[in-house]
Structure 1
Amino acid sequence: MKKHEWRETTDEGEVRLATATRHAGKWKLRSRLKSEAEWTEFPVIPLEDLRTLHDLISNKYQRQRAPYEHLLELEALIAAAEQKK
């Protein structure tokens, strides 16, 4: 299982913590605000988070810390999410 974490600031100024995991070929995302104790699991990863995760994995791939297949999987997920829009 691979785990990728990032932080971002929401429009309201709160810090949002996000964790994406890839296990058995499936990506899962959970996030929470720093002020909350409970994590929110997403059955379908939102497009904006997919793009952020793609950027994160792309940076890791350039440093040889993530395989190219993960980038291809995320690009396919982004394309599918854009078609649903």
Structure 2
Amino acid sequence: MKIHDWRTRSETGENRLWRARKHGGHWEFMSRMQRSEEGWTNHEKMEINELKTFREVLFNKYQRRRIPWEDIVKIDAMIEDAETASKDEH
């Protein structure tokens, strides 16, 4: 199982900690606010912006030869699916 962590800043200025786990070819995403939340919140659906941020994190790891290219391809497909779904909703 591979685990990837990264941070984003929320609208209130607090850091949101993100964690993605890959197990059996399936990605699981969790997050929590750094100071105000103790437990992790699971995310079944990710926002497109968060997926793009995660892709940047993975691509940086790929450049350092820490992950396979297939992980990048999988995230690209997830981003494309999310963009298609958001277009269908409008």
TM-score by length of 2: 0.90
Tell me, in whole angstroms, the C-alpha distance in 1 between the residues paired with 2:50 and 2:20.
9
Whole-angstrom CA distance in 1 between matches of 2:53 and 2:28 = 14
Q: What RMSD, in angstroms, separates the aligned Cα atoms of the two structures?
A: 0.8
| Number of residue-to-residue matches in the alignment | 85
Structure showing greater Rg: 2
Unaligned runs of 5+ residues in structure 1 are none
Q: Which residue of 1 aligns with 2:25?
A: 25
Q: Higher mean Cα deviation, 22-31 or 39-48?
A: 39-48
Q: Percent identity?
A: 39
Structure-2 residue corresponding to 1:12: 12
**In structure 2, distance between residues paired with 1:47 and 1:20:** 15
Conservation of the 8 A alpha-carbon contact between 1:17 and 1:32: yes
Which portions of structure 1, spanning 4 or more consecutive aligned residues, are displaced by more than 4 angstroms?
A: none
Structure 1 segment 1-85 matched on structure 2, within 5 A: 1-34=1-34, 35-85=36-86
